[in-house]
């Protein structure tokens, strides 16, 4: 093919555009970010801080800003890192009023909330934000959380996922129980057509809910569902219900494998895989030169408390690392088959060592910022190159941005990488719609 016809065929087929989501977390996703000069560590209880993050993300035309959530506190871990945040739905209602277009995604646990309460909170926030809400449904993870909710420990995995599916069905039924079309607000004397409001009469294995919901149908019909499960059951739940999936992929190959698997499950669930946006986490260190980007990463890594980090690495690897030389290469570790502790994290550590040949300090830094998530260090151009490779290689439909520092990391991304992606036709130049679902899928309302 001549260069000219190659160019024209490229122009004819539009390039796949990225979806971008900001995962807002404290002073950033690097565990030592709070110690960096200029961090927002004193502002973690100030709503203005989160409003500013949301405005920055909106300036960058991102799809959404997202909060994870947990339901317990671990005082010893607070000694060297501020691991707390404002309750997400409460914070997002303020952020909704500080922004106009960006989506607002809250984690809500199906293990700890009753469905009526969840439907009402999320439905109200969809009204407050005029249709910008997403719900990251999780089944939660730790016994410490369960003990705050009248349980001795976490219910078994299978039971949690059984409850999650029933929970979503009940919440979605509640959202449609009071249809907007029933609202007449006729000053002649009729407010609604009560005939059009239905109960949900849900009676399942895990709960019963009579309905109807006492908030009318949300602007999006159904707020957008996100899911981030890794297990078979987690992926199947995503395949049945999710429109967005938060994934963990260390490299392009792992991203392709995960995305293909989710798309296959979506197809098997009778849905179109193109209706589901898969977004792996991305930890990006951006600067105008490679050297500067690496220097910033090294500066953050140098702020990690060495002794505590080595102790933690010892727990992850099942050996004593306390005398490891920080600036020497990582000593050889036993292969995965011989390791008897938790496999996931150990596999990640082996993968980082094999592909990046880090020093001990660099390994600690990688684990302290995103761990098994994809990490890109470089210029806006080199990061945009790699994002294009992931999009075109079938590893991602976009990314869940996990900036190592906040607010600086998202400002850098918005000011430097977003314009580069736009120049390449890989990211929107304006919001087309007003709802989160429009940003994500192009259509305004979910099926009722
Ligand atoms: C980006 C991302 C965000 C997550 N956020 C939360 C969260 O806020 N709360 C939570 O309990 N779990 C969260 N998880 C964990 C998952 O929902 C899930 O429990 C975990 O991946 C284990 O998978 P499994 O439950 O399918 O075994 C998150 C996972 C990812 C990748």
Atom of ligand 1 lying closest to residue 145 CA: 11
CA distances from 306 to 76, 198, 261, 422 (A): 16, 60, 39, 40
The reply to whether ligand 1 has any atom less than 6 angstroms from the CB of 348 is no
Top-confidence residue, 76 or 56: 56
Which among 329, 339, 341, 399 is positioned nearest to 370, based on CA atoms? Answer: 399
Q: What's the rounded Cα separation, in Å, for the pair 389 and 374?
A: 13
pLDDT reading at 379 higher than 90: yes
Q: What's the rounded Cα separation, in Å, for the pair 433 and 444?
A: 8
| CATH topology (fold) of 16-282+379-441 | TIM Barrel (3.20.20)
Q: What's the rounded Cα separation, in Å, for the pair 169 and 358?
A: 46
The reply to whether ligand 1 has any atom less than 6 angstroms from the CB of 66 is no
The reply to whether ligand 1 has any atom less than 6 angstroms from the CB of 68 is yes
Q: What's the rounded Cα separation, in Å, for the pair 155 and 233?
A: 15
The reply to whether ligand 1 has any atom less than 6 angstroms from the CB of 229 is yes
pLDDT band at 127; cut points 50, 70, 90: very high
8 Å CB contact between 285 and 296: yes
Q: What's the rounded Cα separation, in Å, for the pair 128 and 81?
A: 33
Atom of ligand 1 lying closest to residue 247 CA: 31
So what's the pLDDT on residue 447? 59
pLDDT reading at 9 higher than 60: no
Tens-digit pLDDT profile for residues 169-204: 999 999 999 999 999 999 999 999 999 999 999 999
pLDDT reading at 165 higher than 50: yes
* Best mutation site among 70, 141, 262 for ligand 1 pocket (most ligand atoms within 8 Å of CB): 141
What is this structure's pTM?
Answer: 0.94
Atom of ligand 1 lying closest to residue 109 CA: 11
Tens-digit pLDDT profile for residues 67-115: 999 999 999 889 989 989 999 999 999 999 999 999 999 999 999 999 9
State the span(s) of the chain assigned CATH 3.20.20.30: 16-282+379-441
Atom of ligand 1 lying closest to residue 69 CA: 8
């Amino acid at each position: 093919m001549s260069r000219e016809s190659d160019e024209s065929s490229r122009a004819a087929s539009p390039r796949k555009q990225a979806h971008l989501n900001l995962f807002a977390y404290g002073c950033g996703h690097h565990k030592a970010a709070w110690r960096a000069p200029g961090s927002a560590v004193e502002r973690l209880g100030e709503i203005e801080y989160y409003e500013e993050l949301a405005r920055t993300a909106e300036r960058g035309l991102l799809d959404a800003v997202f909060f994870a959530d947990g339901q317990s506190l671990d005082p010893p871990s607070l000694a060297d890192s501020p691991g707390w945040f404002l309750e997400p739905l409460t914070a997002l209602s303020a952020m909704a009023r500080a922004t106009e277009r960006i989506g607002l995604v809250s984690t809500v646990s199906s293990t700890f909330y009753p469905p009526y309460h969840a439907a009402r909170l999320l439905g109200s926030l969809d009204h407050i934000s005029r249709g910008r809400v997403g719900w990251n449904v999780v089944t939660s993870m730790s016994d410490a959380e369960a003990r705050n909710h009248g349980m001795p420990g976490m219910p078994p995995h299978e039971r949690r996922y059984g409850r999650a599916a029933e929970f979503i069905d009940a919440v979605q039924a509640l959202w449609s129980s009071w249809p907007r079309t029933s609202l007449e607000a006729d000053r002649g004397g009729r407010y609604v057509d009560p005939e059009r409001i239905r109960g949900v009469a849900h009676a399942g294995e895990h709960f019963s809910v009579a309905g109807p919901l006492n908030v009318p149908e949300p602007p999006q019909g159904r707020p957008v569902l996100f899911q981030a499960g890794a297990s078979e059951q987690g992926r199947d739940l995503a395949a049945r219900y999710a429109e967005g999936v938060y994934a963990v992929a260390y490299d392009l190959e792992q991203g392709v494998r995960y995305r293909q698997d989710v798309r296959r499950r979506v197809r098997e669930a009778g849905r179109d895989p193109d209706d589901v946006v898969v977004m792996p986490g991305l930890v990006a260190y951006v600067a105008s030169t490679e050297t500067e980007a690496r220097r910033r990463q090294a500066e953050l890594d140098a702020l990690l408390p060495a002794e505590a980090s080595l102790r933690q690495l010892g727990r992850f690897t099942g050996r004593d690392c306390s005398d490891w030389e920080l600036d020497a290469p990582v000593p050889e570790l036993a292969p995965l088959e011989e390791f008897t502790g938790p496999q996931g994290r150990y596999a990640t550590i082996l993968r980082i060592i094999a592909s990046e040949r880090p020093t001990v300090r660099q390994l600690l830094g990688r684990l302290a910022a995103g761990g098994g998530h994809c990490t890109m260090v470089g210029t806006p151009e080199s990061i945009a190159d790699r994002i294009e490779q992931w999009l075109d290689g079938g590893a991602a439909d976009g990314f869940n941005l996990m900036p190592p520092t906040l607010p600086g990391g998202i400002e850098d991304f918005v000011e430097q990488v977003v314009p580069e992606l736009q120049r390449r036709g890989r990211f929107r130049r304006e919001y087309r719609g007003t709802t989160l679902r429009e940003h994500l899928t192009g259509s305004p309302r979910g099926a009722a």
